[in-house]
Amino acid sequence: MDLIVSIIFQLLFCVISHGNNHLTKILGKWKSMTYGDVETLTNERSVETYEAGGKGFISSCNAHPVTNADGSYTYYIKSGGNWVVSANVDNEYLVDGDWLATRWRSEAGAKFSYEWWDIDYIRGDEMKWSALREDVNTHSRFRTTFTWKRVK
């Protein structure tokens, strides 16, 4: 299955044009503002809850992606109060209309990981993504969102 997904993703990178309206709007450095389940988003939820497969929440400023015009991105995370480049490599993204796809490797030579998002909007210096996800424990589905602010 991973091979099929990888091939489809690579074909999309080769075939789909980057000439849509969100491509230029998404360029730049962004900071995370909220992440979580739309229906139950609260400050009491933790990063660990989401990573374990629950509906989670990341409070403001725990991630900074920088998207580049060549389809690559750099992902910064907060570690010990400092911003550091994540260990992920081969970070790539694709925008087609309101659709955003990302892929990355946890380390050189590892299999690609993928995420797909709907771009709900990009208005000035604010951007919102949403996606349907599956809880790995209950296999129930939930909608999750990311809200971003552009960093000047």
Q: How far apart are CA 18 and CA 67, in angstroms?
A: 13
What type of residue sits at position 105?
Answer: R
Give the pLDDT confidence score for residue 36 in this predicted structure: 56
Per-residue pLDDT of 64-123, as tens digits, reads 889 999 999 998 887 887 888 988 899 999 998 889 999 999 999 999 998 889 999 999
Highest mean pLDDT among 17-26, 28-37, 52-61, 88-97: 88-97
Does residue 35 sit in helix, strand or coil?
strand
* Domain topology for 2-150: Lipocalin (2.40.128)
* pTM (two decimals): 0.68
- Does the pLDDT value for residue 126 go beyond 60? yes
Phi, psi at residue 75, to the nearest 5°?
-115, 120
Sorted by where each begins, the domain ranges of the chain are 2-150
Q: How far apart are CA 141 and CA 30, in angstroms?
A: 27
Mean pLDDT estimate for the chain: 74
Let me know: does 37 contact 142? Beta carbons within 8 Å. yes
* Percentage of the chain modeled with pLDDT above 70: 67
